[in-house]
Structure 1
């Protein structure tokens, strides 16, 4: 199983989890939950957000949730957070969106 930033974070904090490999084609949290036969809330997704100045912020959230940009901006003491386009998100992360 490949290591990524999320698994490194979980490992560094000794948080137990089960990682699953999914098909290589792009799928979202709903499709991943269906393949794994688990509730969507048990599948996590990484959402890229951007701010006016500074580096992008990644939010790791349950598959059945959405990022509240106003709350995130407030938490980070930012005026505004926004969602980049799919192409921008892929450029920022080097990862394919939805997969």
Structure 2
């Protein structure tokens, strides 16, 4: 598997320090983020999962710790919307240009608003992991760098 992806290219262009970590991806895993944490020997709160949702019909990218669940009510409120829902896998793939299990918030086909759960960044980790743009590929970087490169809003979502 190539370690150069659209996601890593975004980090390279932004001059952000990161490292790439490959693991044996299990397409049958019920929760991909938790499987990645186990495969890499990390606590689940260090791995952020990328979720694709919509708020009042507009797509949004959401990052939460792999062991947490998004509150759709909080997501809608954070977006100033009346309702929020998770996108169907095929729609998420169409919008991002990535395959489910390999969706990164970095390097998506079009730039979407990104929300990061405040609990995911309040654990005090110097570095966190997120999908690097391919199944079985994680990138490790500093939380502040992630927020900056994504121009993300950090809000309560879980």
TM-score normalized with structure 1 length: 0.75
| Unaligned 5+ runs, structure 1 | none
The aligned residue for residue 22 of structure 1 is 23
TM-superposed CA distance for 1:77, in Å, is 0.6
- CA separation of 1:47 and 1:29: change in aligned 2, threshold 3 A: same
Residue 65 of structure 2 corresponds to residue 68 of structure 1: no
The aligned residue for residue 48 of structure 1 is 52
Structure with higher strand content: 2
Whose RCO is larger (CA < 8 A, sep 6+)? 2
TM-superposed CA distance for 1:96, in Å, is 0.8
Name the CA distance, whole Å, in 2 between partners of 1:44 and 1:53: 24
